[in-house]
C-alpha cells in the first residue's frame, strides 16, 4: 500500500554532508586551513545548499572521535570534535540553517562507540559499574590469544576481520561487528538504552530535526553461539532480531514521538519483508530506511566483486522497493558508495554530463525522500587514485588483505577495489578551479580528483546547462508537482538499455524513459502514445522512437 503522507520530511530533499570533505575554513589566525572540512565551512555554504533546493541536511558524524573509521567511532556523543569546531559552532549551524528554513539531521551511531569512549574505558574494569555496557566473553582457551580456537565464537566483522579482540586489562574478549576500535554496545542492558535516549534528547533539544541511524538493524544480539558458515557467520543472531524492533519502538515512544522529527535507518542485508517490519508506519519504528540492493545489481559479492550491469535488473530492483515500501529513502550515493556517474553512468567518458543528468532524473522521479550526496549535484566522479598508497579507507584495505588471502592477483584486486572503494565518495568537494579545488588553503586530508579544473561548482553555478542547474530544475519540479512526490510508481519495463516507469496521481501520468547506453536505442513499446516533454537532458521538445546516448526524458499526459 502506498499512502499519501505530506509530512515535511516527505516534501523536502535531503543533502548529505560528509563534513571532513565538504569545506575547510581558514585557520583562526587567517593562516592555511588544516585540510579537514569543518562546521564553519558548512555555514559558509548554506546559501549554496539553499540554492540547490535542499530543505534538510544530513550531517555525517561531527562528534569527538579518534577517527579509526572517520568519525563513525564516537568517543563522546555530546561534544564536537575540535577538528570540526565547537558546540557553539554547531548551535550556530543549526540557527543559520533555520534562518534559511533548512532542517538538520545528525548521524546516530549507537551500535558501537569508540574504544576511547569513557564507557568502554570504564567497562574494561570488571567492577567499574560499566562492565555490561559492552559485550565481554571469556577466552575458550583452545589455542593462543587471538587464534580461532580461543575466540568466543566464529563471528566475523563487517570489515572482514574476526569480530572479537582480546583486552589484556580485563582478560576477556569484546565484540565488535566493525573495526576493533568500535566495540559493540550491549543492548540487553536497559541502562544502555537509557543512555541513548538521553543523547537523543540532548540533540533534539538543541534543534536537531532527526537522525540517520547507523547500522540500526544489528543492535540486539540474541545469542552468542557459533554462526552458520557463510560470509558473515553469526548474522542470524543479530540481524533484525525481535529485541532490535523493541528498542526502536521504545526510542520512538519515549523520545522521538515527543518531537517534530524523523528517522532514516541505515540497514544492512534487508529484504523488503524485513524492511517493512522496520519502517511500515503502523509499526512505529523508523520513518524510512536505506538499503543497498539497487546499488549492487552489477555486483557479484557485496560491493566489491563486479558483474555486468543490466538496466533491466536495476528497474526490477527499484520497482520491488518502490512498490514494496510505503515510503522510500531514495539515494544513489553516500559516503560508503562509489560515485553514481562512474557507476551506472559514463563517468570518464564522452557522456559524463548526459549520464549525470540522467541519474538526476532517475533519483528525482522516484517515490520517496531523495537524498543527494555532496558533489553528486555537480557530477563528481570516482577518485582517480593511482594505487593503494592513496587509499585511506579501512574497509578497502581490509578487503585487499582478504582478497590477497584468496590469491586474487594484485592487478585484479586493484581493478575491483579502485571502482568500489568508499574513498571514491570521500575526496573533497570540488568547489572551484582554484588550488585544492577551493576546498582548503592547506593540505587536503585525502587526494583531490585531478578533474576538478573541469568539474567544479563555480563553473557550473553560472551555466544554465550544467549538471548543477539540471539538479536544481529537477528538485524544483519535484517541489511543484505532487505526482513526483506522491504519485504511484508503475514500472513499464525494459527494452535493452532503455528502462521506463510512470508516476500516476489523479488524472496525471508522468512517463520516465532512460537510455543507459553510449549508443542510441529504440524505446519501442515503452513509448507512451501521447504526452508533452516536461524534462529532457537534451534539447528535445517532442518524443521520437529513438533515444540518444544516455538520454533521459519525462513526458506528461492527462488521462481521461
Q: Which residues bind ligand ISL (CB under 6 A)?
A: 69, 72, 109, 158, 178, 214-215, 266, 268, 292, 303, 335-336, 395
Nearer to ligand ISL, 303 or 413 (CB): 303
Instruction: Give the contacts of 454 (CB within 8 A, at least 6 positions apart).
Output: none
Dihedral over alpha carbons 35, 41, 44, 48 (to 10 degrees): 80
What CA–CA distance (Å, rounded) separates 533 from 557?
9
Cell matching residue 470 = 539540471
Q: Which residue do the cell numbers 565488535 mark?
A: 176
3-state secondary structure of 521: strand
**266 is a catalytic site residue:** yes
What burial class does residue 116 get, using C-beta atoms within 10 Å of its C-beta: 0-12 exposed, 13-18 middle, 19+ buried? middle
**98 is a catalytic site residue:** no
Identify the H or E element spanning 89: helix 87-99
Nearer to ligand ISL, 336 or 551 (CB): 336
Catalytic residue among 172, 184, 214, 336: 214
Cβ 248 to ligand ISL, closest distance in Å? 17
Nearer to ligand ISL, 322 or 396 (CB): 396
Cβ 144 to ligand ISL, closest distance in Å? 29
| 341 contacts 347 by C-beta, under 8 angstroms | yes
Cβ 426 to ligand ISL, closest distance in Å? 10
Cβ 109 to ligand ISL, closest distance in Å? 5
Q: Which residues does residue 134 pair with via DSSP β-bridges, in sequence order?
A: 185
Nearer to ligand ISL, 93 or 109 (CB): 109
Cβ 278 to ligand ISL, closest distance in Å? 15
Nearer to ligand ISL, 287 or 336 (CB): 336
Nearer to ligand ISL, 279 or 555 (CB): 279
Neighbours of 51 (CB within 10 A): 13
Instruction: Give the contacts of 486 (CB within 8 A, at least 6 positions apart).
Output: 4, 5, 6, 10, 367, 505
Catalytic residue among 89, 266, 336, 395: 266
Query: What does the DSSP assignment read for 384-425?
Result: ---SGGG---HHHHHHHHHHHHTT--HHHHHHHHHHH-GGGG
| 506-530 as b/e: b if 16+ CB within 10 A | eebbbbbbbbbbeeebbbeebbbee
Cβ 184 to ligand ISL, closest distance in Å? 11
Q: Which residues are catalytic?
A: 214, 266
Amino acid at each position: 500500500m502506498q499512502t499519501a503522507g505530506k509530512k515535511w520530511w516527505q516534501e523536502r530533499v535531503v543533502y548529505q554532508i560528509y563534513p571532513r570533505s565538504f569545506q575547510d575554513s581558514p585557520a583562526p589566525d587567517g593562516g592555511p586551513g588544516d585540510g579537514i572540512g569543518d562546521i564553519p565551512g558548512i555555514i559558509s555554504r548554506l546559501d549554496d545548499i539553499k540554492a540547490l533546493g535542499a530543505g534538510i541536511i544530513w550531517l555525517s558524524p561531527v562528534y569527538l572521535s579518534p577517527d579509526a573509521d572517520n568519525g563513525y567511532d564516537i568517543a563522546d556523543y555530546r561534544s564536537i570534535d575540535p577538528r570540526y569546531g565547537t558546540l557553539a559552532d554547531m548551535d550556530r549551524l543549526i540557527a543559520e540553517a533555520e534562518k534559511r528554513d533548512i532542517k538538520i539531521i545528525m548521524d546516530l551511531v549507537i551500535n558501537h562507540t569508540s574504544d576511547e569512549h569513557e564507557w568502554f574505558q570504564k567497562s574494561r574494569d570488571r567492577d567499574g559499574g560499566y562492565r555490561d555496557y559492552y559485550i565481554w566473553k571469556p577466552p575458550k582457551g583452545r589455542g593462543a590469544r587471538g587464534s580461532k580456537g580461543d575466540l568466543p565464537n566464529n563471528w566475523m566483522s563487517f570489515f572482514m576481520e574476526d569480530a572479537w579482540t582480546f583486552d589484556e586489562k580485563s582478560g576477556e574478549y569484546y565484540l565488535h561487528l566493525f573495526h576493533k576500535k568500535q566495540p559493540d554496545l550491549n543492548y540487553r542492558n536497559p541502562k544502555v538504552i537509557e543512555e541513548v535516549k538521553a543523547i537523543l534528547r540532548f540533540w533534539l533539544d538543541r534543534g536537531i530535526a532527526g537522525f540517520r541511524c547507523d547500522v540500526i538493524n544489528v543492535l540486539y544480539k540474541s545469542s552468542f553461539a557459533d554462526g552458520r558458515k557463510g560470509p558473515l557467520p553469526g548474522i542470524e543472531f543479530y540481524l533484525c532480531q525481535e529485541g532490535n524492533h523493541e528498542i526502536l519502538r521504545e526510542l520512538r515512544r519515549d523520545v522521538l514521538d515527543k518531537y517534530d522529527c524523523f528517522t532514516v535507518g541505515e540497514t544492512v542485508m534487508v529484504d523488503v519483508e524485513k524492511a517493512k517490519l522496520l519502517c511500515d508506519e503502523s509499526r512505529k519504528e523508523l520513518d524510512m530506511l536505506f538499503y543497498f540492493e539497487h546499488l549492487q545489481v552489477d555486483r557479484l559479492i557485496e560491493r566489491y566483486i563486479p558483474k555486468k550491469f543490466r538496466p533491466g535488473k536495476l528497474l526490477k530492483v527499484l520497482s520491488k522497493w518502490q512498490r514494496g515500501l510505503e515510503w522510500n529513502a531514495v539515494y544513489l550515493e553516500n559516503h560508503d558508495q562509489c560515485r553514481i556517474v562512474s557507476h551506472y553512468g559514463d563517468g570518464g567518458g564522452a557522456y559524463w554530463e548526459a549520464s549525470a543528468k540522467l541519474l538526476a532524473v532517475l533519483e528525482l522521479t522516484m517515490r520517496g525522500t531523495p537524498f543527494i550526496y555532496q558533489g553528486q549535484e555537480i557530477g563528481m566522479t570516482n577518485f582517480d587514485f593511482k594505487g593503494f598508497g592513496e587509499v585511506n579507507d579501512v574497509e578497502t584495505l581490509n578487503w585487499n588483505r582478504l582478497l590477497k588471502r584468496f590469491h586474487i592477483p594484485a592487478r585484479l584486486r586493484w581493478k575491483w577495489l579502485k571502482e568500489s572503494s568508499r574513498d571514491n565518495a570521500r575526496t573533497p568537494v570540488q568547489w572551484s578551479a582554484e588550488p585544492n579545488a577551493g576546498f582548503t588553503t592547506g593540505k587536503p586530508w585525502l587526494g583531490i580528483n585531478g578533474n576538478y579544473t573541469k568539474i567544479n561548482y563555480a563553473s557550473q553555478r553560472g551555466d544554465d546547462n550544467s549538471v548543477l542547474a539540471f539538479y536544481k530544475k529537477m528538485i524544483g519540479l519535484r517541489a511543484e508537482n505532487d505526482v513526483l512526490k506522491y504519485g504511484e510508481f508503475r514500472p513499464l519495463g525494459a527494452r535493452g538499455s532503455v528502462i521506463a516507469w510512470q508516476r500516476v496521481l489523479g488524472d496525471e501520468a508522468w512517463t520516465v524513459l532512460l537510455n543507459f547506453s553510449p549508443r542510441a536505442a529504440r524505446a519501442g513499446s515503452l513509448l507512451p502514445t501521447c504526452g508533452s516533454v516536461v524534462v529532457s537532458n537534451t534539447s528535445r521538445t517532442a518524443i521520437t522512437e529513438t533515444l540518444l546516448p544516455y538520454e533521459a526524458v519525462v513526458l506528461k499526459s492527462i488521462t481521461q
